Amino acid sequence: MKILVNTGRTVVQGSHVGRKNSPEYFRETSNLRLNPVDMMEIGVDDGERIKATTDGISVVLMVTSDEMIKRGTGFLPLGPYANTLVGGTTHSTGMPDFKGAEVNIEATGEKISTVGELMRHLGGLPYGR
């Protein structure tokens, strides 16, 4: 299913920006909120996982139903998971398309990467002390 993913601040995400490697930040920023009807269509329940793909790049996310979300859209708190789905084009403004990325979602049983693992995929070395 194709959806438009919107991103933004949430209180939980904002409260943990000083602890980006904490379980709270991980759970919040990897949590995609979807309309319950869309979740029924792709066959996932609250707390289950989906794979979101755009331009050949995928990231595994947890889903939560939210009736405030319009059908065909999703909300993902800003952070490294959301930005995996954002391209580097800025249309000559300096600002990438953080809002409204067109993303394909499907149910998956794959594991969600931690922030450190996500950065390892990008060429980094997780720091864990």
Using CB under 8 A as the criterion, which residues of the chain lie in contact with another protein when the complex forms?
4, 6, 8-11, 14-21, 29, 57, 68-70, 73, 75, 78-80, 83-84, 86-100, 115-116, 118-120, 122-127, 129
The Cα-based distances of 71 to 34, 40, 107 in angstroms read 8, 11, 17
Residues 32, 78: contact at Cβ < 8 Å? no
Q: Give the torsion through C-alpha atoms of 107, 20, 85, 3, to 10 deg.
A: 50
Q: Which is nearer to another protein, 43 or 126 (CB)?
A: 126
Instruction: Return the number of the residue (73 or 108) whose C-beta is nearest another protein.
Output: 73
Q: Give the closest residue to 50 by CA, choosing from 71, 25, 76, 20.
A: 76
CB of 33 to another protein, least distance (A): 9
Q: How far is the CB of 24 from another protein (least distance, A)?
A: 10
Nearer to another protein, 48 or 97 (CB): 97
